[in-house]
Each structure stands twice: as C-alpha cells, then as structure tokens.
Amino acid sequence: MADKKQTKPQTPLQKYAQRFLEHLEIEMNRSLRTIDSYHRTLSAFFTWGGLRTPADITAEKVREYRLYLNRKDNGRGGTLKKNTQAYQAIVLRTFLKYLAKQDVAALAAEKIEVGKAPDRQVDFLEFEEVERLIAAADGTDQKSLRDKAMLELLFSSGLRVSELVNLDRGHLNLDKEEFSIRGKGSKLRIVFISPAAKAALKAYLDKRTDVDPALFVAYGKKGLVNRANAARESKRLTPRSVQRLVKSYAKKAGILKDVHPHTLRHSFATDLLVNGADIRSVQSMLGHASITTTQIYTHITNERLKEIHKSFHAKRKRK
C-alpha cells in the first residue's frame, strides 16, 4: 500500500506566524483579505531568507531584505513603489510586536524603521467635471438610471467601491437620506445621501422589477441581466464592473484624467474641505481610522485657500 503524501512540517517561525494571523482574525477583527496579504508578505520574507526561527530575524537580515526589495524588478521595467516597500516593513514590525507580547525572544520591532514614504498623489475632479461625468449617464433606460444613481451616490457619500457593490436595497433609507455601512476594518459609520443622489436612486429603484437584494445589478445590452452572471445567485455588480463604467462615462464626458471610482471619493473629500468642512468631520465621513490618512487632502485645500487669498485679499487697495 502506497504511503500517503506527507505534509511538510511547519517551522517554529511558521507556527508563530500562523498564531499571529489567527490573532489578527479573532482578536483584531481584520478582514480575510488583510490576513491573506500579511501571510503572503511574511512568507515571502521567510522563504527569501531561509528563516526557520524567530532568532533568525536579525537587523542585518532585515536590512539585506529591504535592499533586495528596493532593487527588485516589478515586472514592468521599474522597481517596487516606496509605499509597497514601507508596507512590507509595517507587516514585519506588527509581527515582531506580537512576538514580544507573547514573550518570544526576537528582534525588537523598534529596530525596524519604516521610513518616510513620498506624499501620495491625490487625483480628484473639479465640481464642474463631476457634473459632466454624472450628466454623461443621460438615458432613461434601466441601465442608464442605474449608472446615474451609482455616480451620484459615489460622489455624495465618498463610498469605497467595495462598499458600494456590497450595498443591498434594504440598507438604504431614502426618507432619512442616510444609512449605516460597515466599511474597512468592520468599522460602522453613517453615510449621507444628497438630494440629487436621492432623486437618482429613487428613479432607478422605481424602474426595478426584479427581486435581487443587491442595490446595483448587472444588465446586458437589451436590459436583461447579463448572462455571464446567470450562474450567480445575485446579479450584483463587481468592483471591476464599476471601474469600467466610471472610466467609460469619464471618456464620454470628455474628461482627460484617469478616472476611477476612488477619484470620486477623493473629489467628495476635497469638495467638503474646500467648502469649509473641518478635517475631523471629513475623517469620520470617509471612515478613516487615523487622521493622518485624511491629511493627504490638506495640501490640495491649502493650495485652494492660497488662490482664494490671492483673489480676494489682493483686491484691497492701498491708499
């Protein structure tokens, strides 16, 4: 009788990593997507360095790995982004902090410096461009009404595309013009609907005759549900579908910028700040865990304030 294929036993380091990932899932309530990302990041480091025990993680080994990442080809003729490299360091630091809490002898997390990542480039649309984008969905058929409602809701709420596609009709409260959503990190927040988004959503939902619970569903060219989704229980739009739709309407509207669903989230935040909203309120509406994340918009609004200052303050004539 043939022997069953033996599973390769885990190294001590892999066992600690497994417990760490379980800790993230149970105690820290991190998403499975985040846990998978942490798992791949740690596994790549362990494999590269041939690491088997926590003691194998030395400051010199980490330095060599970071040098390797900095010079690594990204497959597109360039190197890895600084943000990607910083993420690898953050994951390793988090793992080392966990080991310290478990009284496991290992390199101190403080020995790893993440380094300053370059300022993020935030692309957003001017309000006039947003209006053109939404106006591009100008039909009265079910698909056009869906797309207009989708674009209005993205701009009025600042939703992430993953949050948008997971919405059900039952989540909305059009009378109150608000609803609750569980976003990144399972954090609950209130999302508000503008009058324009409310009207677009009502027009779209009034046209719906199906019983699919999903708020935004896929349609074929003749208004029927897309056959590619026929095997699925729900015809819910996917994030990729929303990305294609947004880019298509941006092109139709004559917008030359590279527009994504997240561009509307950036536009939502920028519009609020430029019109006087305080950054803490914007942080809450975006669902950011840290104010630091929201502060990526301040350099944009500071430039706008500078323009306003020049336009109005310069009008004062010296006597």
Q: Where are the domains of the chain?
A: 12-111, 127-309
Residue 184 annotated as catalytic: yes
- The pair of three-digit structure tokens given for residue 270, joined into one six-digit string: 């920028």
The superfamily (CATH) of domain 127-309 is Intergrase catalytic core (1.10.443.10)
Residue 288 annotated as catalytic: yes
- The pair of three-digit structure tokens given for residue 218, joined into one six-digit string: 């896929």
- Between 293 and 21, residue with greater pLDDT: 21
Binning pLDDT at 50, 70 and 90, where does residue 227 land?
Answer: very low
Among candidate residues 146, 160, 236, 266, the one labeled active-site is 160
**Residue whose pair of structure tokens reads 């949050």 in the numeric block:** 163
Fold match flag (12-111 vs 127-309): no
With 0-12 CB in 10 A as exposed, 13-18 as middle and 19+ as buried, what is 42?
buried
Among candidate residues 143, 146, 148, 265, the one labeled active-site is 265
Binning pLDDT at 50, 70 and 90, where does residue 234 land?
Answer: confident
Binning pLDDT at 50, 70 and 90, where does residue 116 land?
Answer: low
Among candidate residues 169, 171, 184, 260, the one labeled active-site is 184
User: What percentage of the chain reaches a pLDDT higher than 90?
Assistant: 56
In degrees rounded to 5, what are phi and psi of residue 188? -90, 135
Closest CA to 134 of 43, 20, 255, 38: 255
For residues 135-159, average pLDDT: 94
- Between 150 and 186, residue with greater pLDDT: 150
Q: β-strands 188-192, 178-182: how paired?
A: antiparallel
Binning pLDDT at 50, 70 and 90, where does residue 261 land?
Answer: very high
Other C-beta atoms within 10 Å of 319: how many? Answer: 3
Residue 176 annotated as catalytic: no
pTM: 0.66
Among candidate residues 19, 171, 189, 262, the one labeled active-site is 262
Residue 265 annotated as catalytic: yes
In degrees rounded to 5, what are phi and psi of residue 180? -95, 145
With 0-12 CB in 10 A as exposed, 13-18 as middle and 19+ as buried, what is 24?
buried
Architecture in CATH of 12-111: Orthogonal Bundle (1.10)
Determine the residue type at 87.
Answer: Y
